[in-house]
Structure 1
């Protein structure tokens, strides 16, 4: 709208009328009113911290100072679009395994709670106290435990989820959880590549918009979404504050690959660091795509085999005593 020549206030009011979400509509209306009352655009947005984070505010502040608000808004839109695209691909890759695991848990729980007890009763009557095979006893033991302790299991699972969410809010504990995710087989490469892409894209967008490097690093640290990366950026921030370049401190953190370090070093030497960071982000966006595709194709057969082994094990455990019963009836 600004590119088309509409004034800022009119653009905000137009967007407010078009908004279908009542919260978004109210935010835009209040922002337009604040700008109408004499506030700058960044000051008006700062009144809504839940909707507009420090990344938004600092970029728009820099755009206002340079007289390039339209350019900055376009960069912000491009940044959010690319970030959402990567985030969406990672989430969609995890949806299918989550559905399969949920279905598997429901199927196995159904077998254990409703089917296995019926077989247990039949085996007890027909085998007249003869010992059951070890696998059968194991399966029936789990079944009995689930039936007798469901009132502990269900609250226990809910409690574990709540405790995990509380742990995620404690930086010290969250660091170790993020570290485990960063170094896990299969998932680790996706986590690290996504983190590097987000770091590069955010820092490159901020610096390219005129935000000073220290302010940009501080914002990247707060919006990284990964405590391992956040602590690494804190060390880089302190080093840059003392007058060092970025490449050396980044290398010292040992979480950024040599290719990233080399490209940042070249960017610093040529004075084209924002452009180089954007190239790193584009490269790692592609790598995330490839890693997600590889993980999806790998997880599917593994999960199917795992599900087949579990259900097959239950079926075999129930079938083994039936052989004894057939032999007994035949005799």
Structure 2
């Protein structure tokens, strides 16, 4: 959500101005009507210069999850000790090593001094603070439990970091091997095969089909490498642009979840993040419909995000969480049964945490077996490459040496 500046009139016709948060100007207008105010003008609040400085800085370092975890724990300690929020943020500016985060903290301090609430000040930096982060801080402000909010956020971000590190560790080995194969094929095509081509050209003999194919591919690479490089670059740029579109992002997200070997792991990791985020938001007091709207933007997958929004719409129309979750087709029967029991017993947040832990255990187990599953595929690929090279390069050399010996 973002902030909107509004002008309105009350029942007596008196002019009023103020700031409200909402998904769209229409949502803000609806809030005003419910408050017996007639909106006259609703405009988005412009971001201040310090925020633009962060967004436009090409060489500014990003804020990592480790730094956000440390920030949350520091804020929790300061709030627990009774330090005012303004003084707490001011003290953290001097100890923060990341210049991007330091600039953001300075802007937050300026906003608080000008009378803006903390969650609205954080919302000016969407590249650093997620919608879930901002919503939980908003609830923490309204309930006077900011210390608990920052502690919960620290735990959530630590689990998020751990999951990302597991995925990176599991995919590092196969990606390194595939990169090495690509580099080896480029070297063979540009330097190795042309050397053999000169040797084969000295003999007036018919070469095997595999050898002729290798020589043709090598010659094509040498003659057209600038065009190939430009074509690959253009294709990657076009793919990147297409993914940023609404339809392209949706199709790409669905394809990623159906990728062999890793698709089901990514799906479980995203669903685990969704369940934990929803449980955390509900425990913090965020309304369910608002929580689903916020979480749909933090799962980083357009396909699952649309399913979450369909859950929100179903719940808004009076359906239960279990029914709307079943209609998405994302959850297993066991998980749906746990959600249904949670609704009946009034402990949905506890059951969602159990569900999140269930998915996280499965992700941990699948990631541990990922290398074992990918290794045979890599061995087969390397074996095929060696076989092609053996048939295309060494077989004609053997035939030519045999012909020379017979002479």
TM tier, smaller: over 0.9
| Correspondence 1:32-111 to 2 at 5 A | 32-111=109-188
SS at match of 1:299: helix
CA distance in 2, matches of 1:54, 1:318: 58
CA distance in 2, matches of 1:13, 1:36: 11
- Matching residue within 272, 296, 310 for 1:221: 296
Q: Which residue of 1 aligns with 2:331?
A: 256
- Matching residue within 268, 279, 286 for 1:211: 286
| Correspondence 1:277-316 to 2 at 5 A | 277-316=352-391
CA shift digits 1:118-154 (9 cap, x unpaired): 111111212x1x2111111121121111111111111
- Matching residue within 19, 22, 29 for 2:99: 22
CA distance in 2, matches of 1:200, 1:295: 24
Of 256-265 and 209-218, the range deviating more from structure 2 = 256-265
CA distance in 1, matches of 2:137, 2:398: 76
CA distance in 2, matches of 1:47, 1:58: 13
Gaps of 5+ in 2: 1-77
CA distance in 2, matches of 1:43, 1:302: 50
Q: Which residue of 1 aligns with 2:47?
A: none
Q: TM-score if structure 2 supplies the norm length?
A: 0.78
Judge conservation of contact 1:119–1:318 (CA < 8 Å) in 2: yes
Q: Which residue of 2 aligns with 1:133?
A: 208
CA distance in 2, matches of 1:311, 1:150: 23
- Quick check: 1:114 aligned with 2:191? yes
Q: Which residue of 2 aligns with 1:236?
A: 311
Cα offset, 1:116, TM superposition: 0.6
CA shift digits 1:3-38 (9 cap, x unpaired): 233221222122211111111011112212322333
How many residues are treated as equivalent by the alignment? 329
- More relative contact order, 1 or 2 (CA 8 Å, 6+ apart): 1
CA distance in 2, matches of 1:47, 1:147: 51
CA distance in 2, matches of 1:44, 1:234: 26
CA RMSD of aligned residues (A): 1.5
1:283–1:139 Cα change, 3 Å: same
Q: Which residue of 1 aligns with 2:229?
A: 154
Cα offset, 1:87, TM superposition: 1.8
CA shift digits 1:252-300 (9 cap, x unpaired): 1212111221111111111111121111111111111111111122213
Judge conservation of contact 2:131–2:295 (CA < 8 Å) in 1: no
